[in-house]
Structure 1
Amino acid sequence: MNSSDKQFEQRARARYQEAIQSIDPVTAGRLRAARRTALEAATVQASPGHRARVLLPVGALAAMALAALIVWQPSPQPQPENKQAAATEQENEYLPPEADKADPGLYQNLDFYSWLAANNSDQTKR
């Protein structure tokens, strides 16, 4: 720095000190609030870059994990037809027989079967 720059700096500092002493408290408070707001805005603008740096690797890891699950997922095993037929028979075991497969004699005396059911339930109550 040359001497003219030093003199300019000294005069600027002196004027700054004079201005600080002569400023009213309301204006000083407003200046401090504006300074705080500007500093907060500067820190907020810096944080999205940080988020992008963090989210990019996290997203890549999530995509790799999803791809790994898709690749290593076991394929469904087809069931043999015998097992399917056996399962269907077990389900139909508790259902009444169809009309064409049942004995026609069962359907002739339906009143008797209803009377039997009614009397049988009365005996279990005793």
Structure 2
Amino acid sequence: MNSSDKQFEQRARALYQEATQRIDPVTAGRLRAARRTALEAASAHASPHHRARVLVPAGALAAIALAALMIWQPLPHSQPEHNPQAAVASEQQDSEYLPPEADKTDPGLVQNLDFYSWLAANDSSQTKR
């Protein structure tokens, strides 16, 4: 800073100090109220910027997590092509666990169903030995 800038700054400070000494209390109160209102408005307008600063990284992290889940999700099991051997093996496995169809079974087998429950209970106890 050169000397003329310093003199200008000193003169401006002196005028400011003199003006603050001569201001009446009513005007000073209005100026303080206007200052408070301006500061409140500035803080209210600053909050959306703060929210944006927080939401942008959070949104980016959510997008990355979604992309990761979509990439690493398990592939759906493809249906096997028409393979007669696989179909026969599948039917055999199903027939082990499912009861036979009513038109293919012997009517004598379904007359005494309590016997089959007794047989299943006793058969499981003999396999444990």
Structure 2 length normalisation: TM-score? 0.50
Q: Once the two structures are superposed, what CA deviation does each residue of 1:9-50 show, in whole Å capped at 9, x if it has no partner? A: 45522322xx22xx5xxxx5x986665454223212111112
Whole-angstrom CA distance in 2 between matches of 1:6 and 1:34? 22
Cα distance in 2 for partners of 1:76, 1:34 equals 66
CA distance in 1, matches of 2:60, 2:35: 39
Q: Secondary structure at the match of 1:68?
A: helix
After superposition, give the CA deviation of every residue in 1:24-77 in whole Å (9 maximum; x if it has no partner): xxxx5x986665454223212111112112211221121112111111222133
The runs of 5 or more residues in structure 2 that have no matched partner are 1-7, 80-85, 116-129
Q: CA deviation at 1:2?
A: 8.3
Whether 2:13 is the aligned partner of 1:14: answer no
In structure 2, what residue type is equivalent to 1:71?
I
The 5 Å alignment of 1:91-110 reads 91-93=97-99, 97-104=100-107
Tell me if 1:88 matches 2:91: no
1:60-75 alignment to 2 at 5 Å? Answer: 60-75=60-75
Flag the 1:3–1:52 CA change in 2: closer, same or farther, 3 A.
Answer: closer
TM-score in terms of structure 1 length: 0.50
Deviates more, 1:75-84 or 1:58-67: 75-84
Name the aligned partner's letter for residue 14 of structure 1: Q
- Correspondence for 1:52: 52
Percentage of identical aligned residues: 51
The size of the alignment, in residue pairs, is 101
RMSD: 4.2
